[in-house]
Amino acid sequence: MSAQPMMFRSRAVITETMLMRVRSVILSLLITVLLAGCLKPEMSVTILEDTVIDDAQTWSGVVRIRGVVTIKKSGHLTITPGTRIEFVRIDRDGDAIGDGEILIEGGVTAVGTPEAPILLTSAEKRPEKADWKYLYLDFARHAEIEYVISEYAYSGIQVHFCKASVKNSVFRHNVDGIRFSTVNIEVSGNRIYGNSNGLRYEERNSTAHIHHNDIRQNEIGLFVPTRSDDKAVIENNNIVENRRGNVLLGLSQSGDITLPRNWWGTTDEQAIAATFFDYQYDKSLGRVRAEEPLAAPVSIFVE
C-alpha cells in the first residue's frame, strides 16, 4: 500500500490539534460554570455610623459599624445566622478602648446556628482586645443570644438591669468575656477563653444561673470585684487552666462566694484552693468555697 500523501497527513494533524483545543476550551468553561455554582455569592455590606434605631430591623450579610448603634425602647434588632458584624476601631475619648458598640434598650434576637454563627469582631487587619467596646444590654425589653462569637472587644457582652439568656456561644480575646450586674440571667453552654477575665460579675441582687460553660485559658477565670451576696448559682462548669487564677475576689468583696459542683481539673481541695485569690492571701476578702468538686469535666452543650 502506498504511503499517505504529506498534505493529507498535515491536514489530519491540524484537525486533531484543533479538536483538542476545542475540547480543552469546553472543559475549562464547564469547570468554571461548576465552580461558580458551588461558590457562595459575596455577602452584602451595610455601613453604619452613629445610628439610632427605633423600629424593627433585621441585619444580615456584613454590617460594618463606626460608632454607636442604639436600639431604642421601641426598636427590635434581629440578627440572622451567619451575619458578620465588624467594628472599626475609633477612640474619641483617648481611653485606649474602642468606641464601637451596639446598645440595646429595646429588644435583640441574635440567634445563629452551629453551622452559621453570628460573628461580632474587629474590622482591623491586626485585631486586638478592646478594638471595640461591647454588645451592651441595658434595661433591654428582650434579649436572646445564642450561637454568637464575640471577640476583640472590651466586653464580649455586658448585661445590666434586664432579663437575658446567653447560650451556646463563644467569647474570646476580650478584656471581659461576659460581664453582668443586677440582672435575671442564664449563661449556659458557652466557651469562654483567651480573655483577661472570663466571667466578671457584680451580683447586686441578681438572679443568675451560670452552668455548663467551659471557662479556661483566660488570665482570670471568674472575677468577682464587689457586692456579691453569694446568691448567684454557678455550678456544673469547667473552670480550669486560667493563668493567674481560676477565681479572683476584688478588694471590696468581703463576703464568701460558693461555687459548688464545678470541675477544677482535680478533686484535691488544696490544689483547687491554690487557684483562688481570696481570704488566704488577703484577710479583708471573703473565702471561695468550692463545694462538691466534680471528678470529671462536664459536657457544655445545652438544648
Given a cut of 70, is residue 34 above it in pLDDT? no
- Asked whether the predicted pLDDT for residue 164 surpasses 70, the reply is yes
Are both 168 and 226 inside the same structural domain?
A: no
Domain-located, residue 62: yes
pLDDT of 14 above 80: no
Output the pLDDT for position 301: 76
Number of domains in the chain: 2
pLDDT category of residue 37 using cuts at 50, 70 and 90:
very low
Average pLDDT estimate for 133-161: 98
Residue 256 located in a structural domain: yes
Average pLDDT over residues 153-176: 98
Q: Are residues 93 and 136 in the same domain?
A: yes
Residue 9 lies in a domain: no
Inside any domain, residue 99: yes
Residue 239 pLDDT class (50, 70, 90 cuts)? very high
Q: Are residues 223 and 286 in the same domain?
A: yes
**Residues 149 and 264 both lie in one domain:** no
> CA 104 → CA 68, 86, 204, distances in Å?
11, 17, 21
Note whether 49 and 152 are same-domain residues.
yes
Instruction: For residue range 252-268, list pLDDT tens digits in order.
Output: 999 999 999 999 999 99
Same-domain pairing of 149 and 225: no
Same domain, 93 and 169: yes
**142 and 258 share one domain:** no
In a domain, 294, yes or no: yes
Q: Which cell numbers hold the place of 259?
A: 461555687
Cell of 157: 457582652
Q: What is the pLDDT of residues 167-221, one digit of tens each?
A: 999 999 999 999 999 999 999 999 999 999 999 999 998 999 999 999 999 999 9
**Is the Cβ–Cβ distance between 43 and 61 less than 8 Å?**
yes
Identify whether 4 is part of a domain: no
- 42 vs 82, more confident: 82
Q: What is the pLDDT of residue 44?
A: 84
Same domain, 156 and 203: no
pLDDT over 90 at 31, yes or no:
no
Within a domain: residue 242? yes
In a domain, residue 228? The reply is yes
Does residue 46 sit in the same domain as residue 170? yes
211-237 burial string, b = 16+ CB within 10 Å, else e? bbbbbbbbbbbbbbbebbeeebbbbbb
Residue 163 sits in which domain range? Answer: 41-174
Q: What residues form DSSP beta bridges with 199?
A: 178, 222
Average pLDDT score, the chain: 90
Burial class (CB in 10 A: 0-12, 13-18, 19+), 155: buried
Tell me: pLDDT of 156 over 60.
Answer: yes
Asked if 67 and 165 sit in the same domain, the reply is yes
Same domain, 161 and 258: no
How far apart are the C-alpha atoms of 27 and 209, rounded to whole Å? 60
Distance CA 131, CA 134 (A): 10
